[in-house]
Amino acid sequence: MAEADSPLLNAASRVGPIVAGVRGATIADRLASACAAIDGRLVFTTSLGIEDQLITHHIFTSKLPIEVVTLDTGRLFGATYRLWQETEERYTRRIRAYYPDAEAVTAMVGEWGVNGFYYAREARQDCCGVRKVEPLGRALAGAAGWVTGLRADQSGQRSAVPLAEWDAQRGLVKVAPLFDYTRDAVAAECERLGVPVNELHARGFPSIGCEPCTRALKPGEPERAGRWWWESDDTRECGLHLTADGKLVRAKATA
Ligand code: SF4
């Protein structure tokens, strides 16, 4: 197929001006510009981590037309469910939950065991696929934009996260309003604004996911070392942020 006939390239060139329209120095400005530039449904997927809580704060307090959703894997920490409730009460808004397909969970646990992810990478990927990736697909179905809490300095896989980019795999514009924030800057903003955060952050958990796959950090360890710590670094992502050919996120900065 000639390049000019490629649906993927045509789509990417069409969305160039939209991607460029996502801009701003502040989180609120970036989110508002995304709402203005992207025509269609915008979805923010929150894990209720500290970055996501800061974004949730701005979406809810600015009353932006962005759906706030979370993927309840069924294996989250009790502290995360408490924070979920606290956040809904604080902002008097509901965070919509997407759940894994019950039959798929039954089949996956039947094959690998309830904690099979500790014993085989394939089991871990299968569990993340059933509990996270498939529900994410449903959450983003029909969306034109996807807001995430990714920061460029979180790990080697995320080192070139831009403010906005065309996600060819999902056919939408992906927006990361905290792409240039440090962990300390996010924490300072949450403190300043009184944003509720997970109690586990103060107990050595900078990155919080499912309870069996997240541990506290030892002194000097990088931020995401506590996630799937029994695997090597280049395979450790959950599969939510992949390129069209299944590679981990390594996009060029556009802002
Ligand atoms: S993080 Fe662990 S428990 Fe959660 S979906 Fe992935 S493998 Fe399963």
What beta strand segments (E) does 34-184 contain?
42-45, 67-71, 96-98, 145-147, 164-167, 172-175
CA distances from 90 to 32, 53, 57, 87, 249 (A): 22, 12, 10, 5, 33
Spatial CA neighbour of 149 closest among 117, 183, 122, 125: 183
Residue 213 assigned to a binding site: yes
SS3 of the chain: helix, strand, coil, percent, to 5: 45, 10, 40
Q: Is 190 annotated as a binding residue?
A: no
Report how far ligand 1's centroid is from the alpha carbon of 95 (Å).
21
Tell me the whole-structure pTM to 2 decimals.
0.86
Q: Which residues lie below 8 Å from residue 112, measured CB to CB, with a gap of 6+? A: 119, 120, 123, 126, 127
Q: Which atom in ligand 1 lies closest to the alpha carbon of residue 125?
A: 7
Residue ranges of the chain with per-residue pLDDT less than 50:
1-4, 243-255
**Active site members:** 238
pLDDT tens, position by position, 31-77: 999 999 999 999 999 999 999 999 999 999 999 999 999 999 999 99
DSSP states along 38-56: --S-EEEE---SHHHHHHH
Atom number of ligand 1 nearest to Cα 214: 1
| Per-residue model confidence as pLDDT tens digits over 15-34 | 888 999 999 999 999 999 99
Write out the two tokens for 156. Answer: 């080697």
Distance in Å, CA 229 to ligand 1 centroid: 12
pLDDT for res 1: 46
Q: What residues are in contact with ligand 1 under a 6 Å CB criterion?
A: 73, 75, 117, 124, 127-128, 131-132, 209-210, 212-213, 238
- For the CA of 210, the closest atom of ligand 1 is 4
Domains and CATH numbers, the chain: 3-203 (3.40.50.620)
User: Which of 127, 130, 205, when mutated, tests ligand 1's pocket best, judged by the most ligand atoms within 8 Å of its CB?
Assistant: 127
- pLDDT for residue 219: 85
Dihedral sign of CA atoms 20, 24, 29, 31 in order? positive
Beta bridge partners, 146, equal 43, 174
